[in-house]
Structure 1
Amino acid sequence: MVGTLIRKFVRYCAVSLCVTFIVFALMYGNGEAIAHSVLGVKATPEAIATKVSELGLDRPLFVQYGEWLTNALHGDLGRSFYTGQKVNEALMQRVPVTFSIVIPSLLLAAVISVLLGVLASVRGGVADRVVQTLSVLGNAIPSFIVAIALVFFFAIWMKILPPTGYVSPAVSISQWAATITLPVLTLLVGGVASAAQQFRTAMLDTLGQDYVRTLRARGLSEANVIFRHVLRNAAAPGMTVVSLTVFNLLGGAVFIEQVFALPGYGQLGNVSAQTSDVPMVMGTVAVTVVVVVVVNFVADLLIAALNPKARKNQ
């Protein structure tokens, strides 16, 4: 078990290095373009050359990446090319905002998806068709359309929730809850739509196993069979879906924060990419990579804990 965890940790570290290097290479590939973006359209060639040297963009790519990686491992993600603000400070302000909508969305999506997957697989018939139809619609409708519909219904028509903006929980818990409700609901639609169908499939595959028929033949109640045995053995694909949902929610948060004017790190990364503020972009990428790696690692641990057969196969 320890050896498996070490191998997975090494694998995740390798993936993290590959992702950050690819993004770094794409962003830092043209030092003159970055310097020109920082200085503005009226910058002279001499000023651009000076800025390139000042930012260290004239050095070999691997040297620049090695320096960034070394500093990042020591907790220093650099400073903004535009404001001079430390990337760490900007992320400390922005990350809690994004997590305040992603974490509730993930927890609710996991619970609702499991319930819908169990309902569709066990009941079948109309319930199954309804769940599949809702899943298809949820995946087909773009998140910004869902956001606009929710704003129109809850903010404009019923006037019970604010359409945009963000209030820190340190200022008011109730106002904070009100400002994140619509973004969470928007993310929840897509998260549940993709995960419920996968849970349904995992449950149907497990229900078709011979041991399930044996348990029923022994007189165990249906609830005992479903929630104690079937659901536990369907945990492996289910947890995999949850880990993938985290990535989808983080990606969706970039657009949702734009729609609802939330000062999250997704919005920060989007604005920074448009202005070639590379240190800020790399900071948001580093946070995303760490979150995805940690979630996948925890999912592997939970799969092994819930399903001994999966632990032996790892």
Structure 2
Amino acid sequence: MLFFILKRVAMGVGLVLLVLTLIFSALQLVPGDPAVLLLSTGDGGAPSPEAVEKLREQLGLNQPLLTQYFSFLSGVFTGDLGESFRTSQPVLEAIGARLPRTLMLVVFATVLSIVIGVAMGAIAARRGGWVDTLVTALSSIGVALPVFVFGAVLILLFSITLKWFPAGGYVDPSKDLLGSLASLTLPAIALAVGFAAQIARMTRSAVLEVQTQDWVRTAKSIGLAPFTVFRRHVLRNSLTPVVTVVGIGFGTLLGSTVLVERVFNYPGLSSLLVDGVTTRDYPVVQGVVIVIALLFIAINIVVDIIYGILDPRVRRA
């Protein structure tokens, strides 16, 4: 088991280095000079070459590309992600203020997705017939439904028409817990609908497969109640592939929050990323993408380890 864990961690470290290299390379290929953008006044006048060169020197943009790359790696591994070109605020500080809000949203959406998805998939596989058809149709709609469209419908129905939930914004849970839950509900539902549909599909397929196994027939033959057989021997053994889907989906939700945060005016990490892209604030863009990538990789390593614990065949393989 120890070798299995070390192998997964080593693969994760290699993947981190690859992702960091890709992030640095991608941002270097973005057209436009950050120094020129920062010195532009917006009235059409171009800054003087002397001012641009001086700012490039201050920002380290005049150094050789390889030097910038190793400086970038050094900063990542020491926790120094630089300062924002636009606000001069440390990038790590800006991310630290936004990251908990996005994690709250993603965790809330993940919990909703698991509860709804597992329940729908299990019921569809057990009941069959029109129930299975209905759940399959709803899952297809959920996967295909654009997040920004569904979010706009939720705002129109539950905020403007019924006035049950706020249309957007963020409330600090330390100041108003109920208000915070209310502000999280609609964004979490909009974020969870597609993920819940994927979990429902996976749960249904897994339950249908496990129901045909020998140990299930044995449990039925010894006289156990049908619900007991389903709960103890079918559903529990069907959740192993669902764990993998949940782990991958959790990381995917981190990237999917961009549209949700925009629709609901939620001041999370993705909003910071969009603002950084708009203003060509390279350190902010790099910092946010790095944090999301590291979280995604870490989550997948944890899921691999949990998967290995649940299924010894994975460790042996």
Fold conserved (TM > 0.5)?
yes
1:133 maps to which residue? 137
Q: Measure, in 1, the Cα distance between the counterparts of 2:184 and 2:54.
A: 45
Contact kept, 8 Å, 1:121 with 1:203, in 2: the verdict is yes
1:167 aligns with 2:197: no
The gaps in structure 1 that reach 5 residues or longer are: none
User: Which residue identity lines up with residue 271 of structure 1 in the other structure?
Assistant: D
Q: Measure, in 1, the Cα distance between the counterparts of 2:31 and 2:62.
A: 7
- How many residues align structurally? 313
1:47 maps to which residue? 51
Q: Measure, in 2, the Cα distance between the counterparts of 1:68 and 1:222.
A: 59
1:78 maps to which residue? 82
Q: Measure, in 2, the Cα distance between the counterparts of 1:152 and 1:251.
A: 25
Query: Relative to structure 1, is the Cα distance of residues 32 and 143 closer, same or farther in structure 2, using a 3 angstrom cutoff?
Result: closer
Q: Measure, in 2, the Cα distance between the counterparts of 1:60 and 1:3.
A: 40
1:33 aligns with 2:33: yes
The TM-score normalised by the length of structure 2 is: 0.92
RMSD after superposition: 1.9
SS at match of 1:177: helix
Contact kept, 8 Å, 2:113 with 2:192, in 1: the verdict is yes
1:123 aligns with 2:127: yes
Contact kept, 8 Å, 2:102 with 2:269, in 1: the verdict is yes
User: Which residue identity lines up with residue 48 of structure 2 in the other structure?
Assistant: T
Q: Measure, in 2, the Cα distance between the counterparts of 1:80 and 1:222.
A: 61
CA deviations over 1:94-124 (Å, ceiling 9, x no partner): 1111112111111121122111111111111
Match of 1:299 among 279, 285, 303: 303
SS at match of 2:85: coil
Q: Which moved more, 1:99-108 or 1:201-210?
A: 201-210
SS at match of 1:234: helix
1:66 maps to which residue? 70
The gaps in structure 2 that reach 5 residues or longer are: none
Contact kept, 8 Å, 2:4 with 2:315, in 1: the verdict is no
1:179 maps to which residue? 183
Q: Measure, in 1, the Cα distance between the counterparts of 2:312 and 2:232.
A: 14
Q: Measure, in 1, the Cα distance between the counterparts of 2:144 and 2:306.
A: 31
2:108 maps to which residue? 104
Q: 1:237-248 counterparts in 2 under 5 A?
A: 237-248=241-252
1:3 maps to which residue? 3
Query: Relative to structure 1, is the Cα distance of residues 255 and 240 closer, same or farther in structure 2, using a 3 angstrom cutoff?
Result: same
1:24 maps to which residue? 24
Q: Measure, in 2, the Cα distance between the counterparts of 1:30 and 1:158.
A: 45
Q: Residue 148 of structure 1: CA displacement? A: 0.7
User: Which residue identity lines up with residue 15 of structure 1 in the other structure?
Assistant: L
Q: Which moved more, 1:288-297 or 1:125-134?
A: 288-297
Q: Residue 53 of structure 1: CA displacement? A: 2.6
Q: Residue 229 of structure 1: CA displacement? A: 2.6
User: Which residue identity lines up with residue 154 of structure 2 in the other structure?
Assistant: L
Q: Measure, in 2, the Cα distance between the counterparts of 1:255 and 1:167.
A: 19
Q: Residue 54 of structure 1: CA displacement? A: 2.3
Contact kept, 8 Å, 1:95 with 1:265, in 2: the verdict is yes
